Structure 1
Amino acid sequence: MSATAIGIDIGGTFTKIVVLDGDGAVVHRERMPTDPGTASRLPGDVGRAIERIESAFGATDAIGIACPGLVRRQGDAVHWMRGRLDVLEGLDWTRALDRRAPVRVINDAQAALAGECAIGAGRGCRDVVLITIGTGVGGAIMCDGRVLSGHVGRAGHLGHIALQVPGDKDIVNTPGSLEDAIGNCTIAARTGGRFTTTADLVAAHRQGDVDATRAWEKSVMLLGAGLASIVNAVDPARIILGGGIATHAGDALLVPLRHWMDEFEWRPCGTGVEIVIATLGEEAGAIGAAAHAREQIT
């Protein structure tokens, strides 16, 4: 069996690897721990994983890498990455893996959107926005079938739009950002220290805790305002909600969010933008990286 494409998603805790066949189906998956203290060994670890895969599935020129940070326009490396994996900043993956064909690098959120649009919740749609809600809030934008990266790779960082001005600045200096309104990174501050995880907040909300409901519904209201603004800016047909918070909350998120979209969204054609939950889970980035690499050589 020939491996049409290999996708590698490098995360702060685990690196996920998938193999896609000619129909885009996942035929192999594995993951390995990502130890920030030894991140410099990642190219070697990834290279050995590719060797094992190619010995089993056949050689391929379609290899994609998804990782955090801003990717060079050439798509060969990340030119800005801060945090636990900054040792990978500027790394040319084609050279590091000693590959003849270019290894295609893509931002992890953009890769997740590409994956969802290939075989997940965005399939069949050419104008899509992905919002990932977890520790922080990430995102990606597809317009007319193309995932946007922008001038320096910042396109789609939708967690860093301003909702409340004046407001405290987030990690990229945005005041009152969407990320700080609903990301897990601010849950203690938003609940007076009562909750340390959004999962606990949502559980208390479901059990009828009035204070928890008030805090959660305020966050969802701000998310609705943010999404309505995003709709006006890029006009998607579908919004996909991914990340741990969206997946865990389910209807506790979707029901109030749709109420606020009814309040805030401009609907010149009478119907609102479709809002769905992502379906590919933690493999979305690796699948998208593989799909992206395959597109570049076809």
Structure 2
Amino acid sequence: MGTADDEFLIGQGSQPFPYAREAYQFTGYTSWVGRDFNNKLQEIQQLKRDHPDVVHSPAWPFMQEEYTRMADYVVTSSAQRHSLRLLDCNAALSKELRDLNSRHSICVERPKYDRVLSENDQLHSDRERLAAKVGQRDLNRIHDLKEIEFLRRDLERQVRERELQVREEAELHRRRSEEELERTWRRRSEEEARKAAEEVEQRWRLQHEEMERQLSQRVNELNLTLMEERRSARSSLDEACRSLENERLTYEGHMAWMEADRISDYGRGFYRGGLEVQ
């Protein structure tokens, strides 16, 4: 009932589902839509594997959409064959266009060898002219085979030399291109290395400045702490000096008082130690 493998229904012809006159016969339409969509999706994936060139076609997304769209009608076998023929034609056209583009690119990208080709054409024309002259000489002088052989060898030598020259020019061009590419790569590498070195130097300078600032701040803090400690030590020293001075004054006053007491008791000439008392 409306699957891709079934033949046309009576009266439907090549029209899709919305235009079929026997629409009432498609009672299981929704279920068939899901099955046919998965089937078509697998077929188009297999087609992509069999024909890798089809994905390069500009119309490939639209063909894929038309080939896998099953929400409007059930694809019949004729529509399937038509889609396959369309994909094959587009794949062939894509390959032909790619070959044409390659030939066109070869013609466009080799303008430097036009001079070489023209010189080769000139050599070929000279060879044809000399061959005609040799033919005339053969008619006139059959015995002059050595000269003909010499001319033939000379022409072959010229062709070989010209071919060698063309190869040398191509090799020189390739070598120059490689040298230019190497110089460009070396210049870019040097620029990147210089930029990296500048970034590292800038980062190191910032770190150095930050470290100097931190060290300066630490030195200032240590200087303030040292000044506070010196001030505290100086005040402690002054306090100790005042205490010693007070003790000295107290001791001297006590000794003066004892001396005055002794003088008042024994007189000024009395000395302890068994000396004579005056």
Tell me the TM-score range normalised by the shorter chain. Answer: under 0.3
Structure with larger Rg? 2
Which structure: greater helix fraction? Answer: 2
Greater relative contact order structure (CA < 8 Å, 6+ sep):
1
